[in-house]
Amino acid sequence: MIDLILGVDEVGVGSLAGPLVVGAVAYPSSGRPPVLKRMRRADVSVKDSKLINKALLPQFADLIYSSAIHNTCVLKPAWMIDRYGVEEMRREAMCAVVKRTLERLTFLYRDDCKYSVIIDGDFDLHTNAFKYKAVAGADKTIWQVSCASIIAKHAQVQVMTNMHRDHPHYGWDRNAGYGTSQHLAALREHGATKFHRHSYKPVRELRV
């Protein structure tokens, strides 16, 4: 019987624009973290996406896509965050991404696997559909969760880079929707788009 750890993490809770993204990966509990091999430079082990050089993010994501038993992401757009609140959307996305992963593992292994679900953060998902452990700082201490953080960040960057092409004023290809000085200045000059989170204070205050 295979023993797996399902790591789960999110990115984008604090973004002013774009989706909240939750990633999940499944790896053997006895496995070793993926290592990015680089010619003539030191190898780099997986770590929390916030600590990874942005230039290396696509390579790390590809490494995880190819090495994980399963990986997937769930996105919640800005309008849903405005309507239902970011915490509710985070819980919903985390539950959805775990259920999707467990369905895939059931297809692959039937009953021949056991698993532990570990989510980054210290909060309650309000679900009895599966057992899980919430660990504050897991994205820095549990490498399977770090991998989930990386694929979530990679998905977020891809989405925001694509959106940047139609809305170049806000610098989304560089700030991924977060409230940098450039982004805030562009909000004041050009106003908010439908991709902004209008319930967030810096965006909401534009209408006052």
- E runs forming strands in the chain: 2-11, 20-28, 35-36, 44-45, 70-76, 113-120, 133-135
| Residue written as token pair 């309507």 | 83
Q: What is the pLDDT of residue 70?
A: 96
Q: Domains in the chain: how many in total? A: 1
Q: End-to-end distance of the chain based on CA atoms, in angstroms?
A: 59
Amino acid, res. 97:
V
Q: What tens digit of pLDDT does each residue of 126-139 get?
A: 999 999 999 999 99
The runs of H, that is alpha helices, within 32-85 are: 57-67, 78-84
CA 12 to chain centre: 7
Closest CA to 175 of 160, 191, 158, 186: 160
Are 8 and 118 spatial neighbours (Cβ–Cβ below 8 Å)?
A: yes
For tokens 């990633």, name the residue.
23
Whether the pLDDT of residue 60 is over 70: the answer is yes
Would you place residue 208 in the very low, low, confident or very high pLDDT band (cuts 50, 70, 90)? Answer: very low
Q: Given the structure tokens 């405005």, which residue do they identify?
A: 82
Q: What percent of the chain has pLDDT over 70?
A: 97
Is-contact 160 172, C-beta < 8 A? yes
Q: How far apart are CA 79 and CA 85, in angstroms?
A: 10
- Which residue do the tokens 């908010």 mark? 192
**Domain CATH for 75:** 3.30.420.10
SS3 182: helix
* pLDDT reported for residue 39: 61
Region for 126 from its dihedrals, namely left if φ exceeds 0, alpha if ψ lies in -120 to 50, beta otherwise: left
What's the token pair of residue 185? 């200045």
Mean residue pLDDT of the chain comes to 92
Ramachandran area for residue 138 (φ above 0: left; ψ -120 to 50: alpha; else beta):
alpha
Name the residue range of residue 81's domain. 2-207
pLDDT digits (tens, 9 = 90+) for 109-160: 888 889 999 999 988 999 999 999 999 999 999 999 999 999 999 999 999 9
Distance CA 36, CA 12 (A): 25
SS3 at position 27: strand
